[in-house]
Amino acid sequence: MRPYARTGRGCRTSGGRPRGVGRGRAMIARRLLLGAGLAAPFVARAQGFPDRPIRYVSPFPPGATNDNVSRVMTRALGPRLGVPVVVENKAGAGGAVGARLVAEAKPDGYTLLNASAGNLTIAPHLSAVGYDPLRDLVPIASAGEAYSLVAVHPSVPVQTLPELIAFARRQPGFLNYSSAGIGSAGHLRGALLADEGRFEAVHVPFPGSAPAANSVVAGDCHLIIDPIAAPHVQSGRLRALATLGPDRWGAFPDLPTAAELGIGRTWPGSGWFGLFAPAGTPEPVVTRLNRDFNDSLEEAEVAAALRRFGLKPEPISPAELGQRVAADHAAIGASLRRLRIA
């Protein structure tokens, strides 16, 4: 039998080219033309972006710090974009529910995520969240680094962070701390504080930072590490022991940072809030959103509001935000494994 004598779809015939090659090339050409035809209107829509309301997903409940930041930014972005920008609260799983919703949304710029650092750098290490923060979401802009307060209920007999550590060591397992949920920044920081201070503490997760803070105000929990504690400290309902952040928090200039007290200097990552879209969102849309978001941060009223919620406004590029997410994701993952949380 001569080689290639058998014929059939995709097989050679003797002395000739593979059968079906011409048909295959024609099919490929048709697909390319069809793809170009489908892409053209999508590109045109991206160039005309936006032309309808935008969903701005806050993955925490109303009253949480993430929600507060979302509402400040949507009020600023709406007039700049010329369309309504509407906050949608999709809480659950330490912010993972809302993050997954956005990761699975159509990549057209009309569904955005106001992510807290924990949604993308902590939660994915703790459970199957249904999204890859480094592949399924595209970074757009950052509202800035977030300060936090280490605060306790007034019944806890301590005035400083070193006193808290000494108190907790004397009563192993007595101290508990609340957070905005498993995988939140408050969860990780509480675990890091207990690890560095060499004491035991019980983590009590809540569906958001507002109820977590209320639990400490009520005396049901002892400790919280979250910017949401600020108004409760200012009203005297909680006692602040230290701040976490890049420097001293302007709202509490006399309060030392944990680093000044020799605590938390090597903790991985930092708190931040950032705007993200589904992977595949057109570059012109990302560029437009980044520009208007950063311009909004320059408004005195917007910057003042963000500072009240514990942020240090920081205009950065999508690439810079992406680098921050990747670095924090890796460093925090290593810490969670060391702490045997992940």
Domain co-membership, 195 together with 277: no
Same-domain check for residues 132 and 153: no
| pLDDT exceeds cutoff 70 at 28 | no
Mean pLDDT of 236-245: 96
Q: Is position 11 within any domain?
A: no
Q: Are 243 and 150 in contact (CB under 8 A)?
A: yes
Separation CA 46–CA 286 (nearest Å) = 10
Specify the pLDDT at position 177: 98
Confidence of residue 181 (pLDDT cuts 50, 70, 90): confident
Q: What is the pLDDT of residue 26?
A: 52
pLDDT higher than 50, residue 7? no
Strands (DSSP E) found in 6-62: 54-58
Task: Give a yes or no: residue 328 inside a domain.
Answer: yes
Tell me whether residue 127 is in a domain.
yes
Average pLDDT over residues 131-154: 96
Question: What is the Cα–Cα distance from 342 to 336, expressed in whole angstroms?
Answer: 5
**For the segment 74-119, what is each residue's pLDDT rounded down to a tens digit?**
999 999 999 999 999 999 887 899 999 999 999 999 999 999 888 8
CB 309 within 8 Å of CB 226: no
Residues 123 and 178 placed together within one structural domain of the fold: no
Phi, psi of 87, deg, nearest 5: -75, 135
pLDDT band at 182 (very low <50, low <70, confident <90, very high): confident
Which of 229, 244, 259 delimits the end of a domain?
A: 244
The SS3 call for residue 148 is strand
Based on the domain organization, do 222 and 157 belong to the same domain?
yes
Count structural domains, the chain: 2
Residue 126 belongs to what domain range? 54-145+269-339
**Per-residue pLDDT, 15:** 43
CB-CB contact of 85 with 289 (8 Å)? no
pLDDT tens digits, 297-342: 999 999 999 998 889 998 999 999 999 999 999 999 999 999 888 6
In a domain, residue 219? The reply is yes
Q: What are phi and psi of 226, to 5 degrees?
A: -170, 145
In a domain, 80, yes or no: yes
Is 35 part of any domain? no
Nearest to 183 by CA among 125, 143, 142: 125
Over residues 223-242, mean pLDDT: 96
Q: Give the pLDDT band (50/70/90) at residue 41.
A: low
H-helix or E-strand containing 116? strand 111-116
Which amino acid makes up residue 243?
T
Task: Tell me, yes or no, whether 256 lies in a domain.
Answer: no
d(CA 200, CA 71): 37
**Distance from C-alpha of 263 to C-alpha of 33, rounded to nearest angstrom:** 61
Between CA 332 and CA 49 the distance in angstroms is 36
In the prediction, which pLDDT does 289 show? Answer: 98
CATH number of the domain within which 285 lies: 3.40.190.150
**Does pLDDT of 34 surpass 90?**
no
Give this prediction's pTM: 0.79
Q: What is the pLDDT of residue 31?
A: 46
Q: Within a domain: residue 48?
A: no
- If asked whether residues 205 and 124 sit together in one domain, one would say no
Region 11-15 average pLDDT: 39
Strand arrangement, sheet containing 111-116: 85-89, 54-58, 111-116, 272-278, 137-146, 311-312
